[in-house]
Amino acid sequence: MPPWHGATASGFNGGARTMNKEIFGVFGDRDEFERFRSEREFDDIVTSDVGTVGIRDTGLGIPGRSASYSGELGSCVIWGEAYPNKRGWSEPARWLLEQYAEQGTDAIRSLNGSYLAFIEHGGESILLTDAIRSWECFYTDDPGVRVFGSDAAEVAKTIDNPTMRRQSVGEFLHMGVVLGDKTLFHELHRAPFDSYLTAEEADELDRFVYNEREMDYVNELAERMQRAIRLRSRQPGKKGLLLSAGYDSRTLLSQLPNLDHTYTVGMPNAQEVKVARRLAKQYGVDHTTLVTNDRYITPGEEKVRDTQGIKESIHIHHAGYNSEMEVDTMYHALLFDTLLKGFGHKRTEVKLFGKKIPTKKMEENPDPVEASLDNFGYLPERSRKVAEKYTVDSDAAGKFVRQAIDAEFDRCWSRTDSVQNALALFSIRNQPTIPSRTHLADNYLESFIAADTELLEWHLQTPPEYRNTSTFIRAIRQLDEDLFRHRPPDRPYTSTLLSQIEQFARRKLPFITEFEPAWPDRQKVYDRYNLDQRLFPENETIHDLSSRHKLRINDMVGWVAQCSENMVNPTDVLYMPNERNANGEAGSKRRGADGVPSEN
């Protein structure tokens, strides 16, 4: 019996919900494929003796979306969003197959977008990711043949007796993300970053490598953003945009033609919502406020499925509002901050009124581990309380998080020799907000604009000191000078320093209103809707943890329930798993000093 056997507290039914869009395949023939899945589940299947793949996607055949082809050279499936050069626009899968026959894996360099691509040619087959692994590909060899796919739960179901990985549970608990290529199960893996997968290999390519050069960084960014947005502006049907009061989404608002609707999550009177509403009115687009309630935070089956068991569901702010977003295509500005504005870099800081404020100047030799702590969901004091459940070491959580980051950070050096670039790469490789995109892409025709190859090239060629908000603002001013008519509520000035000085003054001076945070207070929403009793009615031992950590526990509980007949109990996530004591008796808990519960 697996060590997590027990009842769930969250009401999940194993396998009750499948994703609307999926690629699933085996490195084997049609009979091998049908051991695991029925052809009726897919819109199209391509098959050969060395590879069989099925895809399900409402966008199949729409220009720029999923495509498939079979012919004399072999077969090819592109799943997701992909833009070949002009010659291959009408038949992208056939074009990519022909390019691969001539160039091998170098052919994938010419495919722009966010995708997984499967190619069978010359008696061999291969699966390729895009340059930043914006779509995960999960795989396992447990059934005796390599099985792979975009939905981690469906791939995990092919594993006979999955075992949970202690390191992954600890990373999810303390950081909200499983680092690297791991998953919650030992037997389930992820294709590496910028990589390919074959029947026997899983190895990285070299598309995403830093190579700085001199250019007009502002002008190049402006022109490339304009082309990237224009390329993706032809999506069919009614078009929507997730709009905040920040710089990124308003850039899309100004540049996308024929937008029908914008959506903002929050309370109608919140400063963030008011500014978003004014922006929509400025550009003549209808706006809807998705009012914050329990839907904002409750991790239902769909939301948990979209975490893939590797990232927390809290980032999917819009998941409960599908019925109110009546559009066919949905745009967003995910990763603009990471790829174009230098989120993840470590800048020098000045101490002002007891508060550390970052400047534009890059820190010369930052400690990469310390610099990365704030880039994920690590909350030191709250993580300490989690660790107290299973260890007497007061710094166990901090030690564990630092060791995990340090081990993963070493994998960045093959693509750069700069600490600042390595910090950026580390954030991109392990981006915790990806589930929000997974949810959008599963419910709408979605465009991942920041994954455009020209923008990725700009990121790789621009020195860290120019990848910042200042460069970004100057670039978008070239696109539309009127973008700043309504400023973000927490950034009344273009200068970050001046804006932070006013933030401090508003917090300290009497009779002056503070800036409101961009997102609703999660803890208040959690408490208001009594989620302890809804999610963990029989697990009072975890009620005193922070809402963030409790939701992470629920994410893991729910995801395992969706892909295994065995259910995980929430307390097992904290005390995972029971270990036999010296007398061979089950039930003792080994209190590890490494920040995570021990495993057999």
Least confident of 308-317, 351-360, 499-508, 515-524: 499-508
pLDDT at residue 111 tops 80: yes
Can you tell me the distance from the alpha carbon of 83 to that of 455, in angstroms, rounded to the nearest whole number?
A: 14
Please give the full DSSP string across 354-414, using - where no structure is assigned.
Answer: TEEEEEEEEPSS--HHHHHGGGTT--HHHHHHHHTTT-S-TTHHHHHHHHHHHHHHGGGGG
Structure tokens at 350: 């000045």
Instruction: Quickly state the pLDDT bin for 472 (edges 50, 70, 90).
Output: very high
The predicted pLDDT at position 42 comes to 97
Fold equal for 22-204 and 217-341+431-508: no
- Residue 414 buriedness (CB in 10 A; 0-12 / 13-18 / 19+): exposed
- pTM greater than 0.85: yes
Instruction: Quickly state the pLDDT bin for 565 (edges 50, 70, 90).
Output: confident
The predicted pLDDT at position 487 comes to 85
Can you tell me the distance from the alpha carbon of 177 to that of 540, in angstroms, rounded to the nearest whole number?
A: 25
365: Cα separation from own chain's centroid: 28
What average pLDDT does this structure show over 19-47? 97
pLDDT at residue 482 tops 50: yes
pLDDT at residue 347 tops 90: no
Least confident of 239-253, 320-334, 401-415, 496-510: 496-510
**At which residue do the structure tokens 């199949």 appear?**
60
Encode 541-569 in three state secondary structure: HHCCCCHHHHHHHHHHHHHHHHHCCCCCC
Rounded to 10 degrees, the C-alpha dihedral 412/413/417/419 comes to 50
Q: Where are the domains of the chain?
A: 22-204, 217-341+431-508
The predicted pLDDT at position 7 comes to 33
pLDDT at residue 231 tops 60: yes
The predicted pLDDT at position 518 comes to 59
Instruction: Quickly state the pLDDT bin for 208 (edges 50, 70, 90).
Output: very high
pLDDT at residue 578 tops 60: no
494: which DSSP letter? S
Q: Count the neighbouring beta carbons within 10 Å of the beta carbon of residue 487.
A: 15
**At which residue do the structure tokens 């609307």 appear?**
20
What average pLDDT does this structure show over 255-260? 96
212: which DSSP letter? -
The predicted pLDDT at position 504 comes to 58
The predicted pLDDT at position 349 comes to 74
pLDDT at residue 594 tops 90: no
CA-based torsion, 145, 146, 150, 153: positive or negative? positive
pLDDT at residue 512 tops 80: no
Higher model confidence: residue 510 or residue 186? 186
Can you tell me the distance from the alpha carbon of 202 to that of 426, in angstroms, rounded to the nearest whole number?
A: 20
The predicted pLDDT at position 496 comes to 64
Instruction: Quickly state the pLDDT bin for 598 (edges 50, 70, 90).
Output: very low
Structure tokens at 127: 């699966």
Instruction: Quickly state the pLDDT bin for 508 (edges 50, 70, 90).
Output: low
Closest by CA position to 250, among listed 135, 332, 137, 355: 332
The predicted pLDDT at position 181 comes to 97
Give residues with Cβ within 8 angstroms of 582, minimum separation 6: none
What average pLDDT does this structure show over 231-250? 95
What average pLDDT does this structure show over 487-508? 64
Q: Is 488 helix (H, G, I), strand (E, B) or coil?
A: coil
Backbone torsions φ then ψ of 54, nearest 5 degrees? -115, 145
pLDDT at residue 6 tops 80: no
Instruction: Quickly state the pLDDT bin for 538 (edges 50, 70, 90).
Output: very high
Structure tokens at 191: 């294709």
The predicted pLDDT at position 22 comes to 98
Least confident of 135-144, 238-247, 311-320, 483-492: 483-492
Instruction: Quickly state the pLDDT bin for 580 (edges 50, 70, 90).
Output: very low
CATH class name, domain 217-341+431-508: alpha beta
Least confident of 42-56, 137-151, 411-425, 495-509: 495-509
Using left for φ > 0, alpha for ψ between -120 and 50, and beta otherwise, residue 64 falls in left
What average pLDDT does this structure show over 509-513? 60
CATH class name, domain 22-204: alpha beta
Q: Is 45 helix (H, G, I), strand (E, B) or coil?
A: strand
pLDDT at residue 517 tops 70: no
Instruction: Quickly state the pLDDT bin for 89 (edges 50, 70, 90).
Output: confident
Can you tell me the distance from the alpha carbon of 282 to that of 292, in angstroms, rounded to the nearest whole number?
A: 24
10: which DSSP letter? S
The predicted pLDDT at position 16 comes to 53
Q: According to DSSP H, which parts of 290-335 are helical?
A: 301-305
What average pLDDT does this structure show over 60-87? 94
